Amino acid sequence: MLLIRCPYCGERAEVEFSNGGEAHIDRPADPMSLSAEEWAQFLYMRDNPKGLIAERWRHAHGCNRFFNAIRDTRTDRFVVTYEIGQPRPDVTPEQAAEAAR
Protein backbone atom coordinates (compact mmCIF):
# COMPACT_ATOMS: atom_id res chain seq x y z
CA MET A 1 0.00 0.00 0.00
CA LEU A 2 1.43 3.31 -1.09
CA LEU A 3 2.36 6.04 1.34
CA ILE A 4 1.21 9.35 -0.09
CA ARG A 5 2.09 12.81 1.10
CA CYS A 6 -0.97 15.03 1.05
CA PRO A 7 0.34 18.60 0.76
CA TYR A 8 -2.21 19.64 3.39
CA CYS A 9 -2.18 16.72 5.85
CA GLY A 10 1.16 15.00 5.45
CA GLU A 11 1.90 11.34 4.82
CA ARG A 12 -1.07 9.02 4.86
CA ALA A 13 -1.87 5.52 3.67
CA GLU A 14 -3.15 5.00 0.16
CA VAL A 15 -6.55 3.78 1.36
CA GLU A 16 -7.33 7.37 2.37
CA PHE A 17 -6.93 8.58 -1.20
CA SER A 18 -8.51 8.15 -4.57
CA ASN A 19 -6.59 8.52 -7.77
CA GLY A 20 -7.84 11.07 -10.28
CA GLY A 21 -5.88 10.13 -13.39
CA GLU A 22 -3.35 12.19 -15.28
CA ALA A 23 -2.86 15.79 -14.16
CA HIS A 24 -2.51 19.02 -16.10
CA ILE A 25 -5.21 18.13 -18.60
CA ASP A 26 -7.14 21.36 -18.43
CA ARG A 27 -10.74 21.41 -19.43
CA PRO A 28 -10.96 23.61 -22.53
CA ALA A 29 -12.35 27.05 -21.88
CA ASP A 30 -14.81 26.74 -24.73
CA PRO A 31 -15.52 23.08 -25.46
CA MET A 32 -18.05 23.88 -28.15
CA SER A 33 -15.33 25.45 -30.29
CA LEU A 34 -13.36 22.21 -30.35
CA SER A 35 -13.48 19.67 -33.14
CA ALA A 36 -14.60 16.18 -32.23
CA GLU A 37 -11.00 15.04 -32.56
CA GLU A 38 -9.75 17.74 -30.20
CA TRP A 39 -12.51 16.99 -27.74
CA ALA A 40 -11.65 13.27 -27.77
CA GLN A 41 -8.00 14.11 -27.16
CA PHE A 42 -8.99 16.05 -24.05
CA LEU A 43 -11.55 13.57 -22.85
CA TYR A 44 -10.06 10.18 -23.57
CA MET A 45 -6.50 10.13 -24.89
CA ARG A 46 -3.81 9.74 -22.28
CA ASP A 47 -0.02 9.58 -22.14
CA ASN A 48 -0.15 6.58 -19.79
CA PRO A 49 3.61 6.87 -19.37
CA LYS A 50 5.96 4.17 -18.25
CA GLY A 51 8.15 6.41 -16.17
CA LEU A 52 7.32 9.74 -14.58
CA ILE A 53 3.65 10.61 -14.49
CA ALA A 54 1.97 13.74 -13.21
CA GLU A 55 -1.27 12.59 -11.67
CA ARG A 56 -4.11 13.77 -9.50
CA TRP A 57 -5.02 12.40 -6.10
CA ARG A 58 -7.81 13.33 -3.76
CA HIS A 59 -7.47 12.91 -0.03
CA ALA A 60 -10.95 11.43 0.01
CA HIS A 61 -10.94 10.19 3.59
CA GLY A 62 -9.10 13.17 4.91
CA CYS A 63 -9.17 16.81 3.90
CA ASN A 64 -11.01 15.98 0.67
CA ARG A 65 -8.66 18.15 -1.35
CA PHE A 66 -7.26 17.34 -4.73
CA PHE A 67 -3.55 17.65 -5.30
CA ASN A 68 -1.01 16.59 -7.88
CA ALA A 69 1.88 14.19 -7.64
CA ILE A 70 4.79 13.11 -9.75
CA ARG A 71 5.45 9.41 -9.51
CA ASP A 72 7.48 6.87 -11.42
CA THR A 73 5.08 4.24 -12.71
CA ARG A 74 7.89 1.69 -12.97
CA THR A 75 8.55 1.78 -9.24
CA ASP A 76 5.55 3.64 -7.78
CA ARG A 77 8.02 5.92 -6.04
CA PHE A 78 6.81 9.51 -5.62
CA VAL A 79 9.07 12.41 -6.51
CA VAL A 80 6.90 15.20 -5.18
CA THR A 81 3.32 16.15 -4.39
CA TYR A 82 2.05 19.68 -4.92
CA GLU A 83 -1.07 21.77 -4.81
CA ILE A 84 -3.55 22.05 -7.63
CA GLY A 85 -2.90 25.10 -9.76
CA GLN A 86 0.86 24.96 -9.38
CA PRO A 87 2.80 24.24 -12.54
CA ARG A 88 4.34 20.82 -12.98
CA PRO A 89 7.60 21.06 -11.05
CA ASP A 90 10.86 20.33 -12.77
CA VAL A 91 12.33 17.00 -11.80
CA THR A 92 16.09 16.97 -11.44
CA PRO A 93 18.01 14.08 -13.00
CA GLU A 94 18.96 13.03 -9.48
CA GLN A 95 15.31 12.94 -8.40
CA ALA A 96 14.36 11.02 -11.51
CA ALA A 97 17.12 8.50 -10.96
CA GLU A 98 16.10 8.05 -7.34
CA ALA A 99 12.47 7.51 -8.33
CA ALA A 100 13.44 4.99 -10.99
CA ARG A 101 15.62 2.98 -8.64
Binding stretches for another protein (CB under 8 A): 1-3, 13-15, 18-22, 26-27, 30-32, 34, 36-37, 39-41, 43-50, 53, 55-56, 58, 60, 64-66, 71, 73-76, 84-85, 101
Q: Between the CA atoms of 46, 10, 90 and 53, what dihedral angle is there, to the nearest 10 degrees?
A: -20
CB of 37 to another protein, least distance (A): 6
Contact 66, 56 (CB under 8 A): yes
Question: C-beta of 88: minimal distance to another protein in Å?
Answer: 14
